[in-house]
Chain A
């Protein structure tokens, strides 16, 4: 026998509706996980990825023994975390002899694993090791420029996949309006060889150029690292088709206080508060009244002067 369970409070209902599938999706949250064993370098990498995506990221700081993304049966715990935190991108760091400084970036679709990319981190330079003018530091939550350099991103299948995953991870929220005063950061990804990608985070310095478009300069602020490609699992073809579907409909915005009448067409209602006309004192500021006042003043002055003349004459 089934029974109907609903949220008990309005707030709970709103939270559940936020997690419902939407017609147009705006952004994806990121879940950052630690493996059974991590190294100092990897802890720093995960901490700084969290720092870059702070407003739309969730960080789990305990070690997870059940999370093994590439092995059969190791996805259940990961999918549960995805469901619980409502994140659809996860970054999982682990360290072992076979795969040192290992980073797995993956995405979920309907809280099931969609695809996975495994990279190794080398030549890591943290944010603190860069020295630059602190006025240039990027603001938290600003939308970044993302740059991919190299023919490998088109020729090599793994690099193409990594490019898509990195773009999904780094772009943040899809926005319609952008404030040009707020552009201040850029990510640079360069394919140095078929299995190595240079990644760095830069601040933008906007210089005067004499035209509408300013001259852009990059200032490296870190973190900076090399990604060495290891394993990857592309998505299932049918699942990919389903995930790439978009709807042409747009969510309808509710028109308030508008009715339709067969005779008059559209009728709108405008709220006007009660007006107490009899009690309101009228403002005495009309220009016409001012002119009349000035003329009456002149008449009074002339009368005064006339009276003075009369006195002098007598």
Chain B
């Protein structure tokens, strides 16, 4: 019986798992919850015993904390959580060296320094053959007298460093193509922060493109007015703000417009300060101004010279009003 039971179980020691695929729970007589639980636990005990049988018979090493057992690798295959690390593609120099058959060899740490006549380290502080440590540079007959040799050396060093960084960036770009970028390095414009995978490029909508093109079209001297239109390009519907100006010369019926605007302004001014105590003098003055305006409109063109001068003052006041309204419309 035990042999048969043993034969039926699948035991995966790497995961400490056992699986009985032949057991069937009877569904016809409905068991109570407790009976079902008890049956599951009884069956579970058998399977746990099967795992223990396989586990405790493995060869063990005695340790201070207890016997140690080396588990075999798991037989049940489970998916990985990340992709396998991809091999790094060879850098440009490595590819060239392989092509040419150049062998890599180690350099000595200690190098003879010509300047001081001693042996020094190749890199780092107080290094051998350091350009900054040369106090005197002998001039050659072919040298340009305008040129500073020390500054030239600094410039050359800076250029070398820039070239090195450019080459390094190129190699990292090549590695990023194969998805083999080192995990602690991130190429800033396109990379996601942690895994270094490529981010999907953003899709620009049609409206956004139209807006950008519209803004760019007004960048010429004429503000886009006299520029050539592209094929299929529609003219702009509305170029600027809407502004209206009242006619300069009065005519029949236009006086009422002026009167309306003036009254609107006065009402606004009065309503703003309505919570304050009424200033009698100001009110009387406003009233008189209204009366005078009515008289002038009634008289008409009888007094031409007088009306000319007075009209000028009226124009100024109207312009101010227009500017205010224009601003309001702009907002």
Question: Whose C-beta in chain A lies nearest to the C-beta of B74?
Answer: A174
Q: How large is the interface on A (under 10, 10 to 19, 20 to 34, 35 or more residues)?
A: 35 or more
Task: Determine the distance from Cα of A22 to Cα of B70 in the docked complex, in whole angstroms.
Answer: 22
Cα–Cα distance between A22 and B82 once the two chains are bound (Å): 8
Residue from A23, A88, A167, A180 in contact with B60 in the complex, judged by beta carbons closer than 8 Å: A180
Contact with A along B76-101 (1 / 0, CB 8 A): 11111111110000000000000000
Q: Is A123 an interface residue (CB 8 A)?
A: yes
Question: Does A168 have its Cβ within 8 Å of any Cβ on chain B?
Answer: yes
The verdict on B217 contacting chain A, using a C-beta distance below 8 Å, is no
Bound-state Cα–Cα, A14 to B330, Å: 58
**Nearest CB in chain B: distance from A68 CB, A:** 21
Give the residue of B49, B79, B186 whose beta carbon is less than 8 angstroms from that of A216: B49
Instruction: Say what secondary structure dominates the interface of chain A.
Output: mixed
Name the CB-closest residue of A to B187. A2
**Min CB–CB distance B195 → chain A (angstroms):** 7
Residues in B with CB closer than 8 Å to A83 are 192-195
- Indicate if the CB atoms of B79 and A235 lie closer than 8 Å: yes
Q: Does the CB pair A153–B19 fall under 8 Å?
A: yes
Is the CB of A16 closer than 8 A to any CB of chain B?
Answer: yes
Question: Do the beta carbons of A193 and B25 come within 8 Å of each other?
Answer: yes
Q: Which residues of chain B come closer than 8 Å to A204, judged between CB atoms?
A: 48
Contact B44 A2 (CB under 8 A): no
User: Is A47 interfacial (CB-CB < 8 Å)?
Assistant: no
Question: Within residues 168 to 214 of chain B, which ones have a CB less than 8 A from any CB in chain A?
Answer: 168-169, 172-173, 182-195, 197
Within 8 Å of chain B (Cβ to Cβ): is A146? Answer: yes
Q: Quick one: which of A109, A212, A214 contacts B81, CB cutoff 8 A?
A: A109
Among A52-60, A181-189, A265-273, the stretch that binds chain B is: A181-189
Kindly state the separation between the CA atoms of A192 and B24 in the bound complex, as whole angstroms: 8
Cβ-based interface call for B133 (8 A)? no
Q: List the 10 closest A-B pairs by CB distance, nearest first.
A: A181-B66, A20-B183, A243-B79, A88-B81, A188-B44, A21-B82, A5-B186, A16-B184, A190-B40, A213-B56
* Chain A interface residues toward B at CB < 8 A: 1-7, 12-13, 16-17, 19-23, 25, 28, 83, 86, 88, 107-111, 114, 123, 143-151, 153-154, 163-164, 167-168, 171, 174-183, 186, 188, 190-193, 198, 200, 202, 204, 212-218, 220, 224, 235, 240, 242-247
Q: Which residues of B contact A (CB under 8 A)?
A: 14-25, 27, 33, 36-37, 40-41, 43-45, 47-49, 51-53, 55-57, 60, 63, 65-71, 74, 76-85, 168-169, 172-173, 182-195, 197
